[in-house]
Amino acid sequence: MRPENWQLWLRKNEKLLIIIVSGALIILGWLMGYFSPLARAILMTAAALAAGFPIAKTAWYALRAEVISIHLLVTIAALGGILIGDQWEAAAVTFLFALGEFLEARTLAKTRDAIGQLLDLVPAAATVLRDGQEIEVDPSEVGTGESVLVRSGGKIPVDGIVTKGSASVNQAAITGESIPVEVTSGSQVFSSSIVEAGYLEIQAQRVGEDTTFARILHMVEEAQERKAPTQKFIEKFSRWYTPAIIALAALTGLFTRNLHTALTLLVIGCPGALVISTPISMVAGIGNAAKSGVLVKGGEFLEKAGKVTLIAFDKTGTLTTGKTEVTAISALLGDEEEVLRLAAAVEKGSEHHIGSAILRRASSFPLPAAEGIQVFAGGGISGQVEGKRILVGNRRLLEQHNIILPPESEEWLTAREEMGETPVPVAAEGKVIGAIAIADTLRPEARETAAKLQQMGKKVVMLTGDNPRTAGTIARQLGLDEFQANLLPGDKVEAIKSYQAQGQIVAMVGDGINDTPALAAADLGIAMGAAGTDAAIETADLTLMSDDLDRLIGALGLGRATLANIRQNVIFAVAVVLLLVAGVLGQKVFLATGMLAHEASVMLVILNAMRLLAWKPNTR
Amino acid sequence: MAYVNITARLEQLTCPDCANMIASVVGRLKGVEQAEVRYATSKLLVRFDESLITWEAIDKTLAKLGYLVRSKVQQEG
């Protein structure tokens, strides 16, 4: 190796070398101790100096910035140990501290590695088509609108729309789901997905830091930093504890003249296991969630997920697929086609899932223009078509407009509602001319998910704007505990508040687009199938990136596991603190044993948190 | 003034207090406008005036404290 490489190697492995040297000196010291107490004292002092020098250096630079660090406490304890003639204890304290730090850093690296593993998924290069030439560029340098080429085995470097080709794409980086999806012209694809087979030309929409994946990474990091209430409490405690122990050490030294005990108090002055107990479990829990396509905004939400007692579902898009379809049309006046045509004309501007179903069905007709469109939230829509006032909406909207529902229409509506469909009456000039029935497919896993949630001891309810009969049919099919129908968006908020008033901890699951207030009102707002929809990710506390209800069970289970993990860590750490203080004051614990207990407890807390990385929902 | 933002990934931070300590020490250097150390990700976010202090000087201070920088990203402005 060249000299500069040696230097680099030394610098990188400095900590390990110091531990080896110091450890060797300690062993030598013990051996020599049989022959000469003086040699032993010298060797032990040398060991303490070797391991203690970097600690003292850190302590010194921190002190210059008026920060009292744990390094300072350890330095004083070690120096004190040498001065009162207990060189072995001084050596042990510094050696164990250095060894502890070294081992903890290595273990922590593994705990924190969920992010690292995600980072490995970031694409390194992009192939763009410029002036008919294929050029390789950095993914962040692709311009929006440019054509990007990805071949088999390649990573998609941008978020965009497929313009040419088809492929099976593994979107695990985004959704946590490793079963590939088939994409073709017109499909939305995400950066960091892998093209397993096929060829794609993609029109770039978002690049670099703006891609969904980059934002996920960013959010996970932010989430891991965000302090949960438990953590804030512990930090308050340690801010009080450390100075108290230092004061106690000073008083003990002054009044009892028992320097040994005073120095030992310094060693246990930083409640290490306690201060890392919560953040480390959170890092592991949030990391695990991110890998399975569950984005958590912060540790406190993972804690909440573990405490939820009631899950409220918005019907459309969560319990159902949200892919609505017209199933039947009834006409009282004129023919069915006319009913559909007029309804579609007013729904043209609507983004509601009922409107889009009607439009899809009417896509083969030329639609007349509609004027004076008026949207009634939770009711329907109206507009002027071919000189007639057309109204498409639910019973409540008809009542509000004093439109009477004829008995034959009422019969038809009831029958459709009992089948779990949503029939919508259509009126022209104040008279009902017919109705259109719309059905939404239940998610295949919805029933099982509800059952599993109930097995976990949670109440499962549905909050919907749909009519009571349709809602009732669906609730019965899924075996829900309760449902509330005919709700306006504001009513959903009220419903959630009344559950909370009953003492329930409420999670609201929505598609994140039209139920923002309800998501915000719940203790835990969960958005589903949110890959690519920024608004949902912004609003929700917890986002299920894939369109799979099973992930909900996993997320709640992980929340519970994280909560339990934190509790174990905190209880253990508090016990260690109490035992150490009692042990020191009772003259049972001295410098070496104090430091050993301190480092070992920190290590155990980290190892316990690591179990969360391997946690898997056992329901899958 | 030429401000520079650097995000540096440090060696693994073992205790949250160490993160606070590093932030305080770096934050007090002349020319450093803002320093934040994140425990969960072992990251240093620092904003400084290039005409008053260099990244090399900050790096040296970190080394004195016993923390090596593993990688860094720079943003202008």
Q: How far is B51 from chain A (nearest CA, A)?
A: 22
d(CA A33, CA A28): 8
Residues of A in contact with B18 (CB under 8 A): 69-70
- Cα dist from B3 to B36, B55, B71, whole Å: 16, 11, 20
Of the candidates A609, A606, A611, A608, the residue with the CA atom closest to the CA atom of residue A105: A606
d(CA A486, CA A492): 10
Residue A472: half-sphere exposure toward Cβ, Cα within 13 Å = 7
Q: Which residues touch A411 (CB under 8 Å, ≥6 apart)?
A: none
Residue A189: half-sphere exposure toward Cβ, Cα within 13 Å = 37
Of the candidates B18, B21, B70, the residue with the CA atom closest to the CA atom of residue A100: B18
User: What is the reported pLDDT for A537?
Assistant: 73
Q: Do A276 and B20 touch (CB under 8 A)?
A: no
Q: What is the mean pLDDT of residues B11-38?
A: 90
Residues of B in contact with A284 (CB under 8 A): none
Q: What is the CA radius of gyration of chain B?
A: 11
Residues of A in contact with B21 (CB under 8 A): 62, 65, 67, 69
Q: Is A235 on the interface with B (CB under 8 A)?
A: yes
Q: Is A69 on the interface with B (CB under 8 A)?
A: yes
The residue annotated as part of the active site, out of A314, A466, A523, A541, is A314
Residues of chain A with pLDDT under 70: 1, 3, 115-116, 512-514, 530-536, 618-620
> What pLDDT, in 10s, does the model give residues A230-275?
888 888 888 788 888 889 999 998 998 888 889 999 888 878 888 8
Looking at the DSSP assignment, which residues form a beta bridge with residue B72? B8
- Three-state SS at A529: coil
Q: Is A54 on the interface with B (CB under 8 A)?
A: yes
Q: How far is B53 from chain A (nearest CA, A)?
A: 17
Q: Do B14 and A105 touch (CB under 8 A)?
A: yes
| Domain CATH code at residue B14 | 3.30.70.100
d(CA A230, CA A479): 36
User: What is the reported pLDDT for A530?
Assistant: 61
CB burial of A597-617 (b: ≥16 within 10 Å; e: otherwise) equals bbbebbbbbbebbbebbebeb
Check: CB of residue A198 under 8 Å from CB of residue A165.
yes
Residues of A in contact with B43 (CB under 8 A): 221
User: What is the reported pLDDT for B35?
Assistant: 94
Tell me whether residue A138 is one of the annotated catalytic residues. no
Please name the residue of chain A whose CA is at the shortest distance from the CA of residue B25: A65
Q: Which helix (H) or strand (E) holds A320?
A: strand A320-331
Report CA A118 to chain centroid distance, whole Å: 14
User: What is the reported pLDDT for A201?
Assistant: 92
d(CA A555, CA A301): 11
d(CA A547, CA A335): 39
B21: nearest CB among A11, A69, A238 = A69
User: What is the reported pLDDT for B30?
Assistant: 92
User: What is the reported pLDDT for B18?
Assistant: 86
Of the candidates A340, A242, A231, the residue with the CA atom closest to the CA atom of residue A280: A231
Q: How many structural domains is chain B composed of?
A: 1
Q: How far is A149 from chain B (nearest CA, A)?
A: 28
A54: nearest CB among B12, B38, B66 = B66
Q: Average pLDDT of chain A?
A: 88
Q: Residue B70 is part of which domain span?
A: 3-76
**CB count, 10 Å around CB of A588?**
11
User: What is the reported pLDDT for A502?
Assistant: 95
Residues of A in contact with B15 (CB under 8 A): 70, 270, 272, 275-276, 602
Domains and CATH numbers, chain A: 3-111 (no CATH), 126-210 (2.70.150.10), 226-285+556-614 (no CATH), 306-319+442-551 (3.40.50.1000), 321-441 (3.40.1110.10)
